[in-house]
Chains A and B, each alone.
Chain A
Amino acid sequence: MKLRIALITILCIGLVCAVSMLGSRTYAQGDRVGSSNPKITVLNPMGTPPPITLIPQAPRLDTLDGKTIYLINTGYIGTDRFMDETAQWFKANYPKTNVVYKDNQSGAGLSSLSNDLWAEIAEKGDAVIAGLGH
């Protein structure tokens, strides 16, 4: 008997909760019960990108012979081996090209390369191959 009363009580509580939840349901804007789902206007959530100024690429070399190419390891793990192999490849296939290998000592990524290195490339280099690794 006690069990039956307990079950009835639980069912009643459940019914009250269900009715209560139905009553408190909220709807999306314009989505009224019985309506024809009218149109609404909403705002674009995007921010504003900055303007982009186009930069022309630097003129290419007519030949690699006699030119100095800087191989830049920007500092990610494994790039040192990749650049080492790249230097060997140029030595074997373009023996008249001077290859200079530079290791990023101050972090990882192009932005962490030192100003001194960029100045050196500007003064002594003809082209750059920058290895981003991974």
Chain B
Amino acid sequence: MKKPAVPVVMHDFEKQEKEVTLNLGMPGLRIQYFRGPVWGKTNEQIRKQIMEGNNPITGRPVMRELVENLTKPLTAEEQKTGEIRKNVGPDMYTGTPDELQKLFLEKRYTDFLPVVLPTEEKVAEMLKATSHEPDEVLGRMNPGSEAGENWTYTVKDAAINAVMAGAEPEYFPVILALGSTGMTAVNVSDNGFMAGAVINGGIRDEIGLNYEEGAVGPYAHANTTIGRAWSLLSINGGNCGKVGTTYMGTIGNPMNLIGIIIAENEEKSPFKPLSVRRGFKEGENIVTLFMGWGILSAKNWAATAWGPNMNYPAIIKEIYNTQDGWLFGTCAVLSPPIADFVRDAGYDTVEKFTEWVTGLKPGAKPVVGGNLNSGIRRAGGTFTVIVTGGSNNNYFSMGGMVPARSAQIDAWR
């Protein structure tokens, strides 16, 4: 277009903008920073607090700088051409285990917890769990939205991160399936998104995934280390989760510590597995990725006040109708006893229950999207049911998580 353009951005995003503009090939792009946020402010507040104020970074008047950014002649640096590549360091590091743990921490290769150091031997052992070549490109990943560039990672990169996470080689096909989707476990958004995955098929028992008590928590080696491997692969393979550049969650999200790995309790669920409902064959080993705000015990909603008579289907419907379904819809993670209550109320399939909860015919999509300034369009949004956990009480979780891609695990053996 070759017209001068100046993005106007809150100064809190300066570090990220430097990274983004570098990724786009314009490392010195002129950006006008101001003190935000503007959301929620009146016109008068915006005028007095922002436009009549100074750029918090330079200390100079915002509007004067804005005009200069459009009119001041370009420097030689701003007109540079050519190609550059970021340096990601040497292929190997040598040191004592303590030195290497410290180095990995300083270089932000970790999730701030100690890792299993990825020696060639351990990585080679991990690679034996797949028939895929180490140098095969497994995926491309960016932190989400417009903020990042697509990094490439190989099967070997995934093996290195899987070792660091403490995963066993038999978990590796699941980790590769997750990595093959290119979806990050740590999204850049200031909203503080989380990511999770639901696993269906016989592989749940084969590798010891927990789908009984504590199913959505870190209470089994397989669930925990697979989720951690996905997070580390996102941090290292995809360069995600770096606060200030590729992570901007205003509050953050505790569910980002590891990707949440949920094995469905297919044996005790009255419904077809999620993977089958998404078109895969019964018994096929499938991982379905989720993204959203996360889940929280449904006990947090007034609708679930304890009493002698509990109408769980109606409670779930009421919670659905109080969700903002705009981005991620509503997700219900039901323990088997709650799923049984739903079935016993006459909803013997998830499809029937979904139709009743959402008021939408099968296949119909809730009205969402559009301009944010026009307000929220529909409560609830899409509705997803996952059945997992123990049968020791009538508990369940609700929240916003929408299924994204599914991947076949056996393709990565």
Assembled-state Cα–Cα distance A103/B236 (Å): 37
| Interface of chain B: mostly helix, strand, loop or mixed | mixed
Known contacts A37-B96, A42-B119; is A58 also within 8 Å of B2 by CB?
yes
CA distance in complex: A62, B123 (Å): 59
Secondary structure class of chain A's binding surface, majority of residues:
loop
Chain A interface, number of residues (Cβ within 8 angstroms): 69
Interface segment among A2-10, A14-22, A24-32: the answer is A24-32
Contact of A43 among B25, B120, B145, B151 (CB under 8 A): B120
Contact check, B38 vs A48: say whether CB atoms are below 8 A apart. no
- Binary B-proximity of A79-93 (CB < 8 A = 1, otherwise 0): 111101110010001
Please tell me if the beta carbons of B371 and A103 are within 8 angstroms of each other in the complex.
yes
Mask, A86-128, CB within 8 Å of B = 1, is 1001000110000000011111111100000010011001111
A52 at the interface (CB under 8 A from B): yes
Contact with B along A29-51 (1 / 0, CB 8 A): 11100000111111111111111
Chain A contacts of B146 at CB under 8 A?
109-111
Nearest-neighbour CB distance to chain B for A110, whole angstroms, equals: 6
The answer to whether A48 touches B46 (Cβ under 8 A) is no
Q: For chain B residues 72-114, which have a beta carbon within 8 Å of chain A?
A: 72-74, 78-86, 88-98, 100-101, 104, 109
**What is the chain B residue whose CB lies nearest that of A131?**
B8
Task: Check A23 for interface membership: any CB of B closer than 8 A.
Answer: no
Taking the complex as formed, is B181 at the interface, i.e. its CB lies under 8 A from any CB of chain A? no
A50 and B151 within 8 A (CB): yes
Determine the chain A residues whose CB is within 8 A of the CB of B10 once the complex forms. Answer: 132, 134
Q: Which residues of A are found within 8 Å of B152, using beta-carbon distances?
A: 47-48, 50
Query: How far, in whole Å, are A61 and B32 apart by their CA atoms in the complex?
Result: 16
Q: How far is the CB of A128 from chain B (nearest CB, A)?
A: 4
Q: What chain B residues lie within 8 Å of A118 (beta carbons)?
A: 1
| A–B pairs, 15, beta carbons within 8 Å | A42-B93, A42-B100, A45-B164, A45-B237, A46-B157, A47-B141, A47-B236, A48-B151, A49-B88, A50-B152, A57-B78, A69-B70, A79-B373, A93-B63, A134-B10
